[in-house]
Amino acid sequence: MTYKCLIVDDEPIARKILAEYLAELSDIVIIGQLKNAIEAINFLANQEVDILFLDINMPKLSGVQFLKNIKNPPLVIFTTAYSEYAVAAFELEAFDYLVKPIAFDRFLKAVNNAKKRLSEKNTGREQSKLFTIKENKRIYKVNFEEVFLLQAYGDYVRIYTKEKKYVTKNKLNLVKSTLPNYFMQVHRSYIINLNHLKYVEGNMVQVETESVPVSLSFKEELMKRL
């Protein structure tokens, strides 16, 4: 399994060191290196991240303030030169806390523990085979494998199967958190089941009977997972 990591730190040298450390791990993909929390907010609105390396002492918005103000954050490993922020970090349920200068062995321990936690979470998702869909006054149980496409539609989500198209009141980001890892978001409005992907052509994918656009921000990850 490949894990997607994002580095957020206002110090170029700190970003460079973390990137070099992460490059040593074959199952890690760095999908972004950002210099402040404002950029991170915009990035996370369009990208799925597994592990977030987050500096605390940054201009305009600190790492702690950032984490307080986002919903459904990825697994966060704080990186900072100041040990006094540790209590605040763990109150926000940060996964780990690395004090600069970060030794490689301590970094490796944090990453391995993070991958173990994520693996356990994904295993739990795989064990759940049925998708509960509330449509009007009815509740349907649909096998995840039958779903080939999910589409954001205002305050609703369209869920496509070969037999039926469901419309349920929900947010795509909330539904995404319940899906097995063979689903992938390819656009802010679309999540596809990779097992039903027919072909990729330019910035479009064919999933069963539906043509779906692929955003540039998701294209590289999609090609890696094919």
Give how many domains the chain has, as a whole number.
2
Give the pLDDT of residue 90: 67
Give the pLDDT of residue 167: 94
Both tokens of 198, joined, read 């027919």
Lowest mean pLDDT among 79-88, 95-104, 182-191: 79-88
206, burial (CB in 10 Å: exposed 0-12, middle 13-18, buried 19+)? middle
* Residues 114, 3: Cα–Cα separation, whole Å: 10
* Residues 107, 113: Cα–Cα separation, whole Å: 10
Q: Where are the alpha helices (DSSP H) in 131-171?
A: none
Same domain, 56 and 42: yes
Q: Where are the alpha helices (DSSP H) in the chain?
A: 12-23, 37-44, 63-68, 86-91, 104-127, 172-176, 216-225
Same domain, 117 and 165: no
Same domain, 147 and 182: yes
Same domain, 62 and 122: yes
Same domain, 110 and 146: no
Give the pLDDT of residue 128: 56
Q: Which residue has the higher pLDDT, 179 or 111?
A: 111
Same domain, 40 and 146: no
Q: Which residue has the higher pLDDT, 38 or 122?
A: 38
Phi, psi of 29 (to 5 degrees): -120, 125
Residue after which a domain boundary falls, among 109, 126, 143: 126
Same domain, 119 and 137: no
134: domain range? 130-225
What CATH number corresponds to the domain at position 149? Answer: 2.40.50.1020
Same domain, 98 and 147: no
Residue after which a domain boundary falls, among 126, 158, 174: 126
Same domain, 42 and 59: yes
Residue after which a domain boundary falls, among 126, 158, 184: 126
Residues 6+ apart with CB under 8 A from 168: 133, 134, 135, 156, 157, 159
Question: What tens digit of pLDDT does each residue of 123-145 get?
Answer: 555 445 778 888 888 888 898 99
What CATH number corresponds to the domain at position 70? Answer: 3.40.50.2300
Both tokens of 222, joined, read 């999609």
DSSP 116: H
Question: What tens digit of pLDDT does each residue of 69-95 get?
Answer: 888 889 999 998 877 766 676 677 788
* Residues 183, 149: Cα–Cα separation, whole Å: 9
pTM of the predicted structure, to 2 decimals = 0.56
Same domain, 169 and 143: yes
Give the pLDDT of residue 26: 86
Q: Is the pLDDT of residue 150 over 80?
A: yes
Same domain, 155 and 190: yes
Same domain, 109 and 12: yes
